[in-house]
Structure 1
Amino acid sequence: MKLSNTFKTTVASIGLAASLAATAATGETLNYAIGFPPGGAASDGVNEFNELLSSEGDIKLKVFELSLLNLKETPPGVRDGLADAGYVLTAYYPAEFSEMNLASEMSMLSTIGTPTPSAGAVMTGVIAEYVMLRCPECQVQFKRENQVFLGGVGTSEYINLCTSPIRSTADLQGKKIRSSIASMGRWAESLGATKVTLPGNDIYEAMSQGVVDCAMVSAPELGNLQLFDVTKYITTNVPGGTFAAVGALNLNLDTWQGMSPESRARLITMAPHNSAMVTVNYSDNATTDLAKAKDMGIEIIEASQELRDATEAFVKQDLEVIKENFANDYGVENIEEKTATIIDLIEKWKGLTAEVYDDKAALAQLYEDEIFSKISVDSYYMD
């Protein structure tokens, strides 16, 4: 995949491409790109993780918050060594990361059936276990993109931030709704709305100019993407699910293989804390940002039972569409076996996270015990 002219121009304009491309981790300091501005759930979580990471040992991150690569630029930027590591949204590249995206596309199953206090904590565990322990094809794709996957995150449940109210299915008719996840886009279309696909960094302008009526995102994006000023109404409980198509600590493969075994081992040990810190931040910030929105005069609407029932019916039916699309469009093989594994993992992680979903240390320990402790530093992405 070639870099776009926009991507090249963006990197050149900040004058960092040459130095970062020529230099990998220096003194075990990794240049880390995250396409969010400072002060949100994701950026704060990464910085909190970096403080813990650098408190013991020689390895640390140099975090670039929206100053090196934006969200869409980060996957090819990590691949090409413009950053040593980054916050990679795999959904922006559906074919390149189709194996992992299959699991993330099924996230709406986490908010139907067995209740869970945090779909984000559930899907963080599901994605990490699936990619790192159950899906060798996932690792093949990451290697092909010259990257190493070291855990993900799950946002709080997806809701609708809008410029006009959505209370029932009738209110969705003709609405233009931004979607980043294909299944959620189909949800909107199934209920009479029009799906609009655009990067997260473009939502503010699209809402302010009327290009979209709503954005399906998690509540903390009110702060992460500065959407408080353009949101007038918030409809909760739909579409549900969570954005889990995230490599929260993806490393450039050449950088990874050039590190000392001790540094690689420390990253494997510490990575669960990154996942837990960002995921719990999303859950906590959802509560505080919704309260802030209410104080700012934004109306908080709880979706009608009719709309919620229609959503659950859609999720159950859409599973067959997911299977068909990933098998036919992306050539994912053994689709029945893989989707069955993911469904089982969702139920497993609903149970595992029920009591620790809001405790960063306990959640990190859970991810460590169930997943990261089973990774070999000598073999993980080393062949």
Structure 2
Amino acid sequence: MKTKTKAILAVAATCSLLASTGLRAETLRYAIGFPPGGAVTESIKEFNEKLKAETDLELKIYELSLLNLKETPPGVRDGLADAGYVLMPYYPAEYSESNLPANMSMLATVSTPTKSSGAVMAGAMTEYIMLHCEDCQAQFTAENQLFLGAIGTPEYVQLCTKPVHTIEDIKGKKMRSSVDAMGRWAEHFGGTKVSIPANDIYEAMSQGVVDCTMISAPELGNFQLFDVTKHITLGLPGGSFAGVGAMNINLDTWRGLSAEQRADMLRLAPYNSAAITVNYHLAATRDIEIARKNGTEIIETPADMAKATEEFVKNDATVIKASFKNDFGLQNVDEKYELIAGLIERWKGLTKDVYDDKDAMTELFRTEIFSKVDPATYGMN
């Protein structure tokens, strides 16, 4: 009897110890196709610490070890991961509704000035998808996923092995693009668009497959591109990569969570979007300076190219609308385009004083978007 009593006490003590040390009731496998150490992965870890501290959920983060960037969308769909960092432009048809605003990101760096195109696009994308676009939600459901917020990278620059000082310098250059509008921008000025996954950029630049990569500056560190980048032209083509589901959750996993857990995820998801976007913004300044110190030529935005880019963006609206109507069969594209363009202008104003403050941006996202979503019904039908 004493032995049995001791065993019961030991089990009780163990349970008490596990509770006191914060054993989590539910661990979600999160896949991200970035290697460790960059702005994105560090931000996801920040979010995870908050999740662990305030809920009975936590993430087990797989950094480029479970799924790469292109594998993540179908991997989340099929349950290989419970959640992941989903790049929607890799699957233009499956996510065509959400790719429409993502393809309009160059509007964030023309007309009204902004200090962070990423903050603007993170807000505009998230608001559009979560509050205004039932067609977006239907496509996520078809992919067995739930969308919990976008992010926006810093404005796109040119990381090159050959310098771009003028419009003439673009002619004949092979330019990697991940956004159709930016690919058209390169072709408009005489370049050749090349489409390759982000994980392959280093090899493509080192082997001369591309002369320039149009991408945000923090990818210098995220993808170890410092070694292959010899020249950086700032401000061109502009815009932001915003076609990201920063916390897309497998729909079966989402529906398996308790009502309280779903409410917790909706409450904390704004921090995830804000942390990634702000850390990305801060990393851009840091990585440009690192590149400068390493001997990389930093080329300021040529004034004639900035003006020509603004004109291109104005005219490209017709191309974007036609493409999404004819290639992907979107309905009411003109109305959707105007709504999104208005949201981009709206978020320029909303983010102008909080673009570099994670907590302030979190509160902004929560107030303007996430607080208007019902955790009892979101993703449950």
Q: TM-score normalized by structure 2?
A: 0.93
Distance 1:233 1:52 in 2: 38
Tell me the alpha carbon deviations over residues 115-143 of structure 1, each in whole angstroms, 9 at most, x when there is no partner: 11001000000010000000000000000
Cα deviation, residue 320, structure 1 = 0.6
Residue 93 (structure 2) aligns with = 95
Equivalent residue, structure 1, for 2:144: 146
Match of 2:347 in 1: 349
| C-alpha distance after superposition, 1:291-322 (max 9, x if no partner) | 00000000000131111111111111001100
Partner of 1:116: 114
**Whole-Å Cα distance in 2 between the matches of residues 287 and 101 of structure 1?**
27
Distance 2:93 2:271 in 1: 29
How many angstroms apart in 2 are the aligned matches of 1:44 and 1:322? 34
**What is the match of residue 294 of structure 1?**
292
Match of 1:374 among 354, 360, 372: 372
**Cα displacement string for residues 155-191 of structure 1 (whole angstroms, at most 9, x for unaligned residues):** 0000000001001100001000000000000000000
What is aligned with 2:233? 235
Indicate the percent of aligned positions where both proteins have the same amino acid: 61
The residue that corresponds to 1:262 in the other structure is 260
Show structure 2 runs of 5+ residues with no match: 1-23
Q: Give me the whole-angstrom Cα distance separating, in 1, the residues matched to 2:207 and 2:25.
A: 46
| Structure 2 residue identity aligned to 1:94 | P
1:39: how far off? Answer: 0.8
TM-score between the two structures when normalised by the length of structure 1: 0.93
Partner of 1:11: none
**Amino acid aligned to 2:223:** L
Name 2:363's counterpart in structure 1: 365
- Of 303-312 and 117-126, more deviation after overlay is shown by 303-312
Larger Rg: 2
Aligned equivalent of 2:30: 32
* Structure 1 residue 144 displacement after superposition: 0.1
Q: Secondary structure at the match of 1:223?
A: helix
The Cα RMSD (Å) is: 0.7
Instruction: Give the C-alpha shift of residue 27 in structure 1.
Output: 3.2
1:85–1:250 CA contact under 8 A, matched in 2: yes
Deviations 1:51-85 (A, max 9, x none): 11111221111100000000000000000000000
Letter of the 2:186 counterpart = A
Is the 1:28–1:263 Cα contact (8 Å) retained in structure 2? Answer: no
Match of 1:207 in 2: 205
* Contact 1:28/1:58 (8 A) holds in 2: yes
Distance 1:121 1:347 in 2: 12
Aligned to 1:61, the other structure's residue is in SS state: strand
Aligned residue pairs total: 358
Partner of residue 189 from structure 2, selected from 169, 177, 191:
191
Q: Separation in 1 of the partners of 2:54 and 2:350? A: 29
Q: Distance in 2 between matches of 1:205 and 1:86?
A: 25
Which of 77, 92, 98 is residue 79 of structure 1 equivalent to? 77
Pairing 1:272-283 to 2, within 5 Å after superposition = 272-283=270-281
Alignment of 1:331-342 (within 5 A): 331-342=329-340
Aligned to 2:324: 326
Residue 19 of structure 1 aligns with which residue? none
- Tell me how far apart the structure 2 counterparts of residues 103 and 77 of structure 1 sit (CA, whole Å): 24
Could you tell me how far apart the structure 2 residues matched to 1:153 and 1:44 are?
14
Cα distance, 1:35 vs structure 2? 0.3
- 1:271 aligned onto 2:275: no
Q: Distance in 1 between matches of 2:378 and 2:142?
A: 15
Q: Which amino acid aligns with 1:167?
A: H
SS across alignment from 1:141: helix
Deviations 1:323-368 (A, max 9, x none): 0000000011001110010011011000000001100000000000
CA distance in 1, matches of 2:83, 2:231: 36
**Structure-2 separation of matches of 1:352 and 1:56:** 28
